[in-house]
Amino acid sequence: MDEFAEAILLDVARQHGTPSFVYFAEPIRQRVIDLQRKFGQHFKISFAVKSNPNRELLRLLNKTGVELDVSSFGEVMRGLDAGFKAEEIGFSGPAKRQFEIQNAVEEGIGTFICESLEEVEELNHVCSVRGCTQDYLLRINPIQIPKLFGLHMGGRPSQFGIDEEQLANIKPALDRLKSVSLKGFHIFSGGNSLYHEAIIENVVNSAKLFQEFSKRFDLRPTKLIFGSGFGIPYFEGDEPLSLAVLAQAMNPIIESMKSDSRFANTCFVLEMGRYLVGSFGYMLTSVVGTKHSRGTDICLCDAGFNNNLSAAGMMGTVMRRDWRFWNLSKPDATAESDYMLVGPLCASFDILGARVTLPETSKGDVLALASSGAYGLTASPTRFISHPEPQEFLVDQAAGKAIVEDVTESYKHYPPMGNQKPSIG
């Protein structure tokens, strides 16, 4: 962590308290710019709102030219409120309720990503009643997925997508639906990989399936969405991805596809979430007490898994590992010790770090947890045991000075969901 970030984080903690989440705007912009420079001639970039739905972050991303992937009508409304056009939003996710489909159609959503034949039929019914036609993509659940992904979402029984081996069989049923129009396919096999070969293999596999099923469906797709799988460093020793290495391998795949007239006018999309924002957010927590128990020094913190489920190893982690922490109160200390960092919850598994090496840490010190810009606050059970919800801050720069904006949201700030009762028989 650089001195600028350390100073800002400590200042936020002193002025506003903890727990808090702090996001840095400029490196997020730069991350998008880097992606566009390396992939922009071949791919559009899409941001998965579920990774961080804060509306000020969405407004920031709206100015960079990315599209949105949403997984609920609530996220549709957040995207629209942040300035995105309806046609820039793709609606994915299982178990879309009828009111969500109906409201999204009424808003003019650009693309529905359908996860089953039944969902396409429901979308067709809604559109038939309204007398309109809706574009959609089919999500494919591939048989083969690369190893070395931190998160697997394909290759097994899944609520996500239509099994690859079943997809061709539903074409006759799809052809009978007259109020929807198939425009392409979507694959998200897995995420959070730091292995170039795994990410490239994933793109190769997806491209082959897109080519196969475009031919089987006699389709000239207008859009094909690749789940990127790009990961970020979480642990000591993790090396960040090289965009140059990935672009060198991935861009020729798209060039080869475009040489086929079937894909000449196709928009290819790289969907990602944590890669855009995850590395540029920190969670701040204060040590409210210390104790020694059976040979272990323990720091009692005011943030726990209720604020950062991922850091506590509860979001699909096979083997728990400690994330990176800094003691902001003692940046120049040289003596170090190992600490167990626990949260405030009455739960034995409320452990943020099992063995974290820090400068000598005591009551009142402020700790910063890295890689907390994605799947942090809103992916955590913040209401468990009724502790106060963390605040959120966005740090930007103007004329060489830092501008810290309070962007805290709570349930009362969420946009209205619209009509939640089915109105179509």
Return the pLDDT at 153.
58
Nearest-5° Cα angle at 174, 75 to 46: 30
CA angle centred on 305, ends 29 and 146, rounded to 5°: 60
Per-residue pLDDT tens for 141-189? Answer: 999 887 767 555 556 677 889 999 999 999 999 999 999 999 999 999 8
Higher pLDDT pick, 417 / 398: 398
Does pLDDT of 424 surpass 60? Answer: no
Distances from the Cα of 415 to the Cαs of 46, 199, 400, 411, in angstroms? 22, 35, 34, 9
Statement: residue 246 has pLDDT above 80: yes
Buried b (16+ CB within 10 A) or exposed e, 80-118: bebebeeebbbbbbeebebbbbbbbbebebbbbbbbbbe
Beta strands in 111-179 (DSSP E): 111-114, 134-141, 151-152, 162-163
Share of the chain above pLDDT 70, in %: 93
| Mean local confidence (pLDDT), 393-399 | 92
**Phi, psi (degrees; rounded to nearest 5) at 353:** -150, 125
Nearest residue to 368 via CA among 379, 353, 381, 383: 353
Is 0.75 surpassed by the pTM of this model? yes
CA distances from 388 to 20, 240, 300, 410 (A): 11, 34, 16, 11
- Give φ, ψ of 40 to 5 degrees: -60, -30
pLDDT at 187 (0 to 100): 96
Closest to 194 in 3D by CA, of 99, 308, 275: 275
**Residues whose CB falls within 8 Å of the CB of residue 332, separated by 6 or more in sequence, listed in order:** none
Is the pLDDT reported for residue 213 higher than 90? Answer: yes
Largest CA distance in the chain: 71
State residue 262's pLDDT score: 97
Q: What are phi and psi of 38, to 5 degrees?
A: -85, -35
pLDDT beyond 80 at 319:
no
Cα angle at 60 between 54 and 61, to 5 degrees?
90
pLDDT band at 1 (very low <50, low <70, confident <90, very high): confident
SS3 14: helix
